[in-house]
Amino acid sequence: MKNKTIQQIFTPPAAHMVGDGFKVHNFFPGGNKIGIQRMSPFFLMDYNAKTYLPPTDKPRGVGVHPHRGFETVTIAYHGKVAHHDSAGNSGIIGEGDVQWMTAGSGVLHKEYHEKEFSKSGGDFQMVQLWVNLPAKDKMHTPRYQEITNVNMGFHTIDDHGSIVEVIAGNYNNTTGPAKTFTPIEMYNVKLKQNATAGFTLPENYNTGLLIIKGSVIINEAETAPENHFVLFNNDGEKFTIKATEDSIVLLLSGEPINERIFAYGPFLMNSREEIEQAYSDYNLGKFGYIDEE
């Protein structure tokens, strides 16, 4: 079985604000010219690197906005985020938790820092992904999965506290709780210094690593430091991650959706006509209603 080789290790692109609450590095599709299909089914990755936020009485965040045709996945490492949507779903996620919203046929939602976290301030670190849906599922009924850390799959690597937290997919017979529309592997790999974990994933899966904390060596050869993104070639199945210090790595891998993508604003569809229909439906109020406050 052949090793996956590294195509490139990317430094964080310049940060920009999303709303007034998220200062993010957009690794793809725009920030590093990785392209809209290169990490399919993952379309977008915004990374709010670890930042201290001072206390405030007014929670920061992103106001009401629409989505159609994909899923948003928010992974919390520090701080707390609250969510409300027009399908009647709401939730708060904190350190180690994941919020997985299927926009599907259309939903309005808002995301903001949880009230008590805002009042106290503190470290804030999050990842948000846009996960594309295949054409046959783009108009699926909206749904919401609040995945608390205790409900994830936990696979022990060693006796020193190194683990793989499985959010979606299956790692060495440990299964994650997330329901997905296409095959996806999503793990938080938490390794103590000098610990090594091995992975075997299909050659055709698009695979990448975001170094959330620490520094790691891939395949005993190339070092990836904190806040960098590792993109693999589609040329093998196996690779190893060794931590040079206590480290956390977000692993993303999935079967590509080989369909045309037409993305515009908050919508991710397969044609211009479908985008125009999305805007029409939104303007006609078909995405429901949610209070701005």
Model pTM? Answer: 0.97
Across the range 84-111, mean pLDDT stands at 97
Asked whether the predicted pLDDT for residue 211 surpasses 80, the reply is yes
Longest dimension (CA), the chain: 57
- Burial of 57 per CB tally in 10 Å (0-12, 13-18, 19+): exposed
Domain boundaries along the sequence of the chain:
15-254
206: left (phi over 0), alpha (psi -120 to 50) or beta: beta
Per-residue pLDDT band for 33 (boundaries 50, 70, 90) equals: confident
User: How far apart (Å, rounded) are the C-alpha atoms in residues 159 and 34?
Assistant: 38
pLDDT confidence tier of residue 292, bands split at 50, 70 and 90 = confident
No. of H helices and E strands in the chain? 2, 26
Which among 227, 192, 187 is positioned nearest to 51, based on CA atoms?
A: 227
Q: Which CATH number fits domain 15-254: 3.30.420.40, 3.30.700.30, 2.60.120.10, 3.60.150.10?
A: 2.60.120.10
What is the β-pairing status of strands 238-243 and 196-200? antiparallel
pLDDT at 30: 86
Is the preceding peptide bond at 59 cis, omega within 30 degrees of 0? no
Rounded Cα distance, 91 and 184, in Å: 23
Q: Is the pLDDT of residue 201 over 90?
A: yes
Lowest mean pLDDT among 25-39, 138-152, 181-195, 250-264: 25-39
107-129 mean pLDDT: 97
Which pLDDT belongs to residue 32? 78
What was the pLDDT predicted at 293?
65
Query: What was the pLDDT predicted at 1?
Result: 87
Tell me the average pLDDT of the chain: 97
| pLDDT score of 250 more than 90 | yes
